[in-house]
Amino acid sequence: MDAGTANDVSRRRLLDALLSGGILAFLGSVVYPVVRYLTPPKVHEVVATSVVAATVPELKPNSGKIFRFGSRPGILIRLPSGEFRAFSAVCTHLQCTVQYRSDMERIWCPCHNGQYDLAGKNVAGPPPSPLEAYDVMLKGQDVVVSRRA
Amino acid sequence: MSSPAAPSSRLLAWLDERLGIGEVITFLRHKTVPKGGHEVWYYFGGVSLFLFGIQVATGLLLLFYYKPGADSSYESVQFIVTRVPFGWLIRSLHSWSANLMVFAVFVHMFSVYFMKAYRPPRELTWMTGMVLLGLTMTFGFSGYLLPWNTLAFFATKVGTDISGLLPVVGPAVARLLRGGDEVSGATLTRFFGFHVAMLPAAFTAVLAVHLLLIQRQGMSEPLRAKTDSSKEGMPFFPGFILRDAILWLGVLALLLVLCTFLPWELGVKADPFSSAPAGIRPEWYFTFMSQTFKYLPAKIFGIDGDVVGICTFLIGGLILFFVSFLDRRAGRGERSPLFTLFGVLVILFMLTMVTLAYVKPY
Amino acid sequence: MRAASPPIQARVSTAARATLLLGIVATLALPLRPASADEVENTCIICHMALPEPLNTPVEGIKHDIHAEKGLSCADCHGGDPTVMDLTSMAPETGFRGAPKPAEIPQFCGRCHADETYMRRFNPRLPTDQLSQYWTSIHGQRLRKGDTKVATCVSCHGVHGIIPPDRANSPVFPANVPDTCGHCHSNPQYMAEYKIPTDQVEKYKRSVHAQMVLVQRDFSAPVCNSCHGNHGAYPPGVTSIAEVCGQCHANNATLFTKSPHKAAFDKLGLPECVTCHSNHEILHATDAMLGGNDGTVCRRCHQPDSPGYAAAVKMRQAIDQLKDVMGDTEAMLAKASQMGMEVSDEEYNYRQDIRPQLVKVRTETHLADANSVLEIAQDGIKAAERSDAAAKATVTEATARRRNLLIPLAIIVVVMGLLYLKLRQLERPGNSNNHPG
């Protein structure tokens, strides 16, 4: 047995070294995803409940803008008086996306000529119910829209 | 093992001075595993433990981003799966490993059962094991609801309805589980508390007892293998441990393949006001029960069919739980074909019901 | 009202006999009447209740009549004296008007309904122009010329048992209007002399509008009177159809009016929207209606070598191209989903983005300008391509995951192998590490 011992020892050392290396590599392949996972992603959290819809100077009085709210479109309007209001932009008739008509001072749906007044109430055409209203808050120059509690 | 005067043995000496771990190491060196051709079954306990470890690790990681609540559960899981780097992997690992763990625990339980390893002096080991089985299934049941998707919501409804069938305590248990009369956000909060706090604490405690008992008593030998007692057992360290490690790595590889090619679905967000999808059933490890209830007649000997069903399951469970005391013949070292038959029938019943649930899900 | 007492079967042959009978009935009925200080004794009801058909039918109907609800009774329309229990209740001195003849019915109802001062008492917002509108209608005009077959107020509203139009059991409730009009207009024998079609209601019931009203109960969709007018019912003239349809389909009407089709159709006397979409059997418009193939509406007029034909072909091609890109996008989304990627957000965004684009491009065809249609189709294509890119990114990610899996898998397999070798080494006989102890 002695003749093979030296070989055995070197083979054992090699195996040990390879094994250590392999285990290190394995640990690395575990640690790497964990570290990446724990690093905060760019979008910090999913907030379906509030969004910056526009900046104050962006919207002139008597104009409107469509923005993404959660997974649905919303419409932000600025009244002639300067006040901001926001509603769901999904028409309550057949779910087309509404738009703001400054000539009518109404929210208008191009699909079947439905009209909502500036409080979101359905006032003309097919829509059977008002647009869902959202809360609007001004944070500095940002217009923040959030779902009503 | 380690060459003399290596840094590791100096470290061990330092620790031994303070913790007395020398005894532990000596014990481990002496620990053997019986050889008799049944070794393969011995691995399932270790696999279950490994998978539990994966669950704890991935569960902890998920906790960093998961937000319990009817308005945020689904969205936060969606966030994890779509926006967090490797979030998809952690989530799928957690879901797949949960299923594999339940499977492994069942195999472990049945292999121990058929080898009659529950016989004295291992009654406590067996009973703590049964408790761990129950806790594992409770982990699965509570965790399943947390993504708050349609399947989970209605599966929980079915499950809590079944728990409500228990005689006397049924409705109270159901209310306790649900946090009310219906499955709702309250149920979600409650299940979250069970899943991340109560159950891990209970499981760890019972597991510690279970493992301690095994270490103290050594591995049981199956009755038939008694004839081979002349053979030396396999040393636990390094033989069994290395085999464990190889197997665990293999299980991990399997998990990785499953997560990459069959990632766990997100589903559709639960809507309590919509009607249940057709053929709704709980997760596979509960379907043997839910499918049975589909076949029970309305009344059996004047008693509500469902109540008879759940009592039968209860009695079956109790027989299994107390089998250490019931199987006198095994206790004496004799063969006990009756109990073997009971086990075979249970397995056949469960397999039949699960198959039916998936092949004929009305 | 009072409980009906069993009718006395008797033939009224002379006035005297009638008076005698009335006397008997009145005597018998007296003790049965519950005494009430507020109740006005309505002798019309008391007598007519006991008469044979058809004289007793008004009594039953009037119970549910809106006029009775408002406190009006027989005498308010028919005149007469409801307090007298004999035939003098119907004497001319009492102002008794009797039952009007068909030609007199509009005036009969209009006596109140066209009187703003009177109607203000009951409902200040109720219009009072029904009578004047009626005279402008085909029905009114023919009635004046002596045709008593045409509809008058009672034909549609009923007579003794008139229910307001906003209640679901009214014959002029929107969902019931087609059948009410169809009562005459779908009857070929009745309409034989008028030489107009009698299949309007049948055709209407196959339309999308009928689907909305009759099935979905969405009353924003039109029924007969929405397009033809209520009391001034007269089919819209050929040149004004776009205006009528444009009440709801505003964009389509505006574009059509700006298109070369308007002038051409008017010159040829072709009804505007109806020429392509039909008037009563308005089905869901499809892309198959557009283009140069046989079976399209364009082909009906435009010859294959004409500029109109070329424009039609171009417009159809633009829409088809958009639909091709949409198909590619949807296939990519399906592939991503099948590979296990989470694409519910991308799918939702795609549908939200593409739907208005599709509506826009199909609406734009009414301008009959191939270039503007192409432009809008390009916008749609860009929207579809955005979604396609998002889906493709997830497919790339899924493929990358599968590829990158090899790295940890390789490491694991290698370590497993090394561990196995280590195991073999440790368990080789003669190796000192093998023995316990």
CATH classification of the domain holding A87: 2.102.10.10
Determine the pLDDT at residue C8: 45
Residue C366 pLDDT > 90, yes or no? Answer: yes
Q: Name A97's bridge partners.
A: A90
| Structure token digits, residue C203 | 């055709």
Residue C170 pLDDT > 80, yes or no? Answer: yes
Residue A95 pLDDT > 90, yes or no? Answer: no
Among the residue ranges B4-13, B30-39, B234-243, B269-278, the one predicted with the least confidence is B30-39
Residue C2 pLDDT > 80, yes or no? Answer: no
Q: Tell me how far apart the alpha carbons of residues C119 and C124 are, in angstroms, rounded to a whole number.
A: 7
Are residues A37 and A54 both part of a single domain? no
Q: Does residue B82 belong to the interface with chain A, where contact is any CB pair within 8 Å?
A: no
- B36 pLDDT tier (thresholds 50, 70, 90): low
Question: Which chains lie within 8 Å of chain C at 3 or more CB pairs, if any?
Answer: A, B
The domain locations on chain B are 38-218+234-359
Q: Is the pTM of this model over 0.80?
A: no
* Cβ contact, residue pair B261, C340, below 8 Å: yes
Closest CA to C265 of C242, C246, C231: C242
Among the residue ranges A36-45, A75-84, A102-111, C130-139, the one predicted with the least confidence is A36-45
| Residue A28 belongs to domain spanning | 1-41
Are residues A67 and A2 both part of a single domain? no
Residue A136's alpha-carbon distances to A57, A87, A139, in angstroms, are: 15, 10, 10
| Complete DSSP assignment for C116-148 | HHHHHTT-TTS---HHHHHHHSHHHHHHHTT-T
Determine the pLDDT at residue B224: 59
| Structure token digits, residue A47 | 């907030």
Residue B231 pLDDT > 60, yes or no? Answer: no
* Cβ contact, residue pair C342, B82, below 8 Å: yes
Higher pLDDT, B256 or A147: B256
**Span B257-315, pLDDT tens digits:** 999 999 998 888 888 888 887 778 788 888 888 888 888 888 888 888 888 888 889 89
Residues of chain B in contact with residue C415, where contact means CB-CB under 8 angstroms, are 249
* Cβ contact, residue pair C409, B257, below 8 Å: yes
Residues of chain B in contact with residue C432, where contact means CB-CB under 8 angstroms, are none
Distance from CA of C411 to the nearest CA of A (A): 6
* Cβ contact, residue pair B84, A41, below 8 Å: yes
Residue A89: helix, strand or coil by DSSP? coil
Of the candidates C250, C363, C412, the beta carbon closest to that of A26 is on: C412
Residues whose CB is less than 8 angstroms from the CB of residue C416 and which lie 6 or more positions away in sequence, other chains included: B246, B249, B250, B253
Q: Does residue C126 belong to the interface with chain B, where contact is any CB pair within 8 Å?
A: no
Give Rg (Cα) of chain A: 31
Are residues A70 and A1 both part of a single domain? no
Residue C109 pLDDT > 50, yes or no? Answer: yes
Ranges B322-326, C84-88, C203-207, C244-248, most confident? C203-207
Residues of chain C with pLDDT > 90, as a percent, come to 53
Q: Tell me how far apart the alpha carbons of residues A64 and A91 are, in angstroms, rounded to a whole number.
A: 15
**Span A17-48, pLDDT tens digits:** 999 999 999 999 999 999 999 998 877 665 56
Q: Tell me how far apart the alpha carbons of residues C76 and C57 are, in angstroms, rounded to a whole number.
A: 18
Determine the pLDDT at residue B1: 46
Average pLDDT over residues A114-139: 93
Are residues A34 and A67 both part of a single domain? no
Q: Tell me how far apart the alpha carbons of residues A109 and B103 are, in angstroms, rounded to a whole number.
A: 56
Judge whether C334 lies within some domain.
yes
- B42 pLDDT tier (thresholds 50, 70, 90): confident
Q: What is the mean pLDDT of chain A?
A: 88
Determine the pLDDT at residue C369: 93
Residues of chain B in contact with residue A45, where contact means CB-CB under 8 angstroms, are 76, 79
| Beta-carbon contacts below 8 Å between B and C | 63
Q: Which residue carries 């806790």 as its tokens?
A: B135
Distance from CA of A103 to the nearest CA of B (A): 39
Determine the pLDDT at residue A133: 94
Judge whether C242 lies within some domain.
no
Q: Tell me how far apart the alpha carbons of residues A119 and A107 are, in angstroms, rounded to a whole number.
A: 9
* Cβ contact, residue pair A26, C421, below 8 Å: no
* Cβ contact, residue pair B85, A45, below 8 Å: no
Residue B213 pLDDT > 60, yes or no? Answer: yes
| Mutation for testing the A interface, residue in C254, C418, C421, C433 having most A CBs under 10 Å | C418
* Cβ contact, residue pair C419, B32, below 8 Å: no
Residue C370 pLDDT > 50, yes or no? Answer: yes
* Cβ contact, residue pair B253, C409, below 8 Å: yes
Question: How many other C-beta atoms are found inside a 10 Å radius of the C-beta of residue B315?
Answer: 10
Q: Does residue B358 belong to the interface with chain A, where contact is any CB pair within 8 Å?
A: no
Give Rg (Cα) of chain C: 38
Average pLDDT over residues C94-113: 91
Residues of chain A in contact with residue B84, where contact means CB-CB under 8 angstroms, are 37, 41
**Span C152-169, pLDDT tens digits:** 999 999 999 999 998 999
Give Rg (Cα) of chain B: 23
**Span C11-30, pLDDT tens digits:** 445 655 666 666 666 555 55
Determine the pLDDT at residue B127: 95
* Cβ contact, residue pair A15, C422, below 8 Å: yes
Distance from CA of A126 to the nearest CA of B (A): 27
Residue C38 pLDDT > 70, yes or no? Answer: no
- B58 pLDDT tier (thresholds 50, 70, 90): very high
Determine the pLDDT at residue B214: 87
Are residues A89 and A134 both part of a single domain? yes
Distance from CA of A80 to the nearest CA of B (A): 36
Residues whose CB is less than 8 angstroms from the CB of residue C412 and which lie 6 or more positions away in sequence, other chains included: A26, B249, B250, B252, B253, B256
Q: What is the mean pLDDT of chain B?
A: 86
Which pairs with CB-CB distance under 8 Å and at least 24 residues apart come from C68-74?
C70/C122, C73/C40, C73/C42, C73/C44, C73/C45, C74/C42, C74/C44, C74/C45
Of the candidates C412, C423, C436, the beta carbon closest to that of B243 is on: C423
Determine the pLDDT at residue A30: 94
Are residues A24 and A75 both part of a single domain? no
Higher pLDDT, C205 or C428: C205
Question: How many other C-beta atoms are found inside a 10 Å radius of the C-beta of residue A90?
Answer: 20
Distance from CA of C425 to the nearest CA of A (A): 8
* Cβ contact, residue pair A49, B71, below 8 Å: yes
Residue window 227-266, chain B: list those with CB within 8 Å of chain A.
249
**Span C354-365, pLDDT tens digits:** 888 898 999 999
Average pLDDT over residues B14-32: 76
Determine the pLDDT at residue B301: 84
Are residues A127 and A67 both part of a single domain? yes
Are residues A56 and A102 both part of a single domain? yes
Determine the pLDDT at residue C17: 65
DSSP state at residue C212:
I
* Cβ contact, residue pair C359, A96, below 8 Å: yes
Residues of chain B in contact with residue A33, where contact means CB-CB under 8 angstroms, are 85-86, 89-90
* Cβ contact, residue pair B78, C437, below 8 Å: no
Q: Does residue A72 belong to the interface with chain C, where contact is any CB pair within 8 Å?
A: yes
The superfamily CATH assigns to domain B38-218+234-359 is: Cytochrome Bc1 Complex; Chain C (1.20.810.10)
Residues of chain C in contact with residue B242, where contact means CB-CB under 8 angstroms, are 419, 422-423, 426
> Which residue is closest to A28 within chain C, CA to CA?
C408
| Complete DSSP assignment for A92-130 | TTT-PBPEEETTTTEEEETTTTEEE-TTS-EEESS--SP
Distance from CA of B61 to the nearest CA of C (A): 19
Structural domains in chain A (count): 2
Judge whether C340 lies within some domain.
yes
Distance from CA of A23 to the nearest CA of B (A): 11
Q: Does residue C423 belong to the interface with chain B, where contact is any CB pair within 8 Å?
A: yes
Judge whether C313 lies within some domain.
yes
Are residues A108 and A129 both part of a single domain? yes
Structural domains in chain C (count): 1
- C415 pLDDT tier (thresholds 50, 70, 90): very high
- B361 pLDDT tier (thresholds 50, 70, 90): low
Of the candidates C349, C359, C419, the beta carbon closest to that of A111 is on: C359
> Which residue is closest to B88 within chain A, CA to CA?
A37
Judge whether C342 lies within some domain.
yes
Judge whether C173 lies within some domain.
no
Average pLDDT over residues C297-323: 93
Are residues A64 and A111 both part of a single domain? yes
Are residues A99 and A143 both part of a single domain? yes
| Mutation for testing the A interface, residue in B50, B65, B241 having most A CBs under 10 Å | B65
Among the residue ranges B232-236, C108-112, C377-381, the one predicted with the least confidence is B232-236
Q: Tell me how far apart the alpha carbons of residues C239 and C262 are, in angstroms, rounded to a whole number.
A: 9
| Structure token digits, residue A120 | 């979101």
Determine the pLDDT at residue C24: 62
Of the candidates B239, B266, B268, the beta carbon closest to that of C427 is on: B239
Average pLDDT over residues A63-71: 85
Residue B142 pLDDT > 90, yes or no? Answer: yes
| Residue C338 belongs to domain spanning | 307-404
